[in-house]
């Protein structure tokens, strides 16, 4: 077919109205976000965890984690921080979250997170766990 459009238009960053367009945009941008995270991990060795909940009734959850969401989240919550620099300005908050009783990570979880960053394969290997739609 003859191409009619002149390509993308600038979009304002406000909540989208059209539901089906929003679903497509969510998919595309979520994949883009995970790809960026993957690149940042590879380029800089930064450890990254991302959790995304889709809105509304669908309410699926997607996640990205290198080396794993749970490991990083545990560390974020303070269970794995060393006792140094206890006078840092946020550390009292972090300490407040220690010893919350979380256990180690299911291996199965990690496996699903691992097979990432194979150039164009981003968006294929993400964890999806929903309860609707």
Judged by beta carbon distances under 5 to 8 A according to partner kind, the member of a second copy, DNA, none in contact with residue 8 is DNA
- Looking up tokens 């981003």, which residue turns up? 122
Q: How far is CA 22 from CA 36, 54, 57, 95, in A?
A: 20, 11, 14, 40
For a second copy, the binding residues (CB under 8 A) are 11, 13-16, 22, 25-26, 29-30, 32-33, 36-37, 39-40, 42-56, 61, 63, 69-70, 72-73, 75-77, 81-82, 84-85, 88-91, 93-94, 96-97, 100-103, 106, 108-109, 112, 117, 127-132
Q: Are 49 and 69 in contact (CB under 8 A)?
A: yes
- In the bound state with DNA, the residue whose beta carbon lies nearer, of 43 and 87, is 43
Could you tell me the smallest distance in angstroms from the CB atom of residue 52 to a second copy? Answer: 5
Judged by beta carbon distances under 5 to 8 A according to partner kind, the member of a second copy, DNA, none in contact with residue 15 is a second copy
- Euclidean distance between CA atoms 132 and 122, whole angstroms: 24
Of residues 39, 46, 63, 50, the one with CA closest to residue 113: 63
For DNA, the binding residues (CB under 7 A) are 1, 3-11, 20-21, 23-25, 27-29, 31-33, 35-36, 39, 133
Calculate the CA dihedral of residues 31, 52, 112, 47 and round it to 10 degrees.
Answer: 90
Could you tell me the smallest distance in angstroms from the CB atom of residue 47 to a second copy? Answer: 4
Return the exposure string of 28-62: e unless at least 16 CB atoms fall within 10 Å of the residue's CB, then b: eebeebbbebbeebeeeeeebbbebebeeeeeeeb
Could you tell me the smallest distance in angstroms from the CB atom of residue 97 to DNA? Answer: 27
Judged by beta carbon distances under 5 to 8 A according to partner kind, the member of DNA, a second copy, none in contact with residue 1 is DNA
């Amino acid at each position: 077919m003859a191409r009619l459009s002149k390509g993308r238009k600038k979009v304002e960053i406000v909540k989208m109205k059209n539901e089906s367009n929003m679903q497509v945009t969510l998919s595309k941008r979520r994949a883009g976000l995970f790809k960026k995270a993957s690149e940042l991990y590879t380029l800089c060795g930064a450890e990254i965890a991302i959790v995304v909940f889709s809105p509304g009734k669908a309410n699926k959850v997607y996640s990205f984690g290198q080396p794993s969401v749970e490991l990083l989240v545990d560390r974020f919550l303070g269970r794995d921080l060393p006792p140094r620099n206890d006078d840092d300005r946020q550390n009292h908050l972090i300490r407040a979250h220690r010893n919350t009783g979380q256990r180690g990570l299911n291996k199965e979880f990690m496996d699903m997170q691992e097979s990432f960053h194979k150039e164009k394969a981003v968006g294929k290997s993400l964890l999806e766990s929903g309860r609707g739609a």
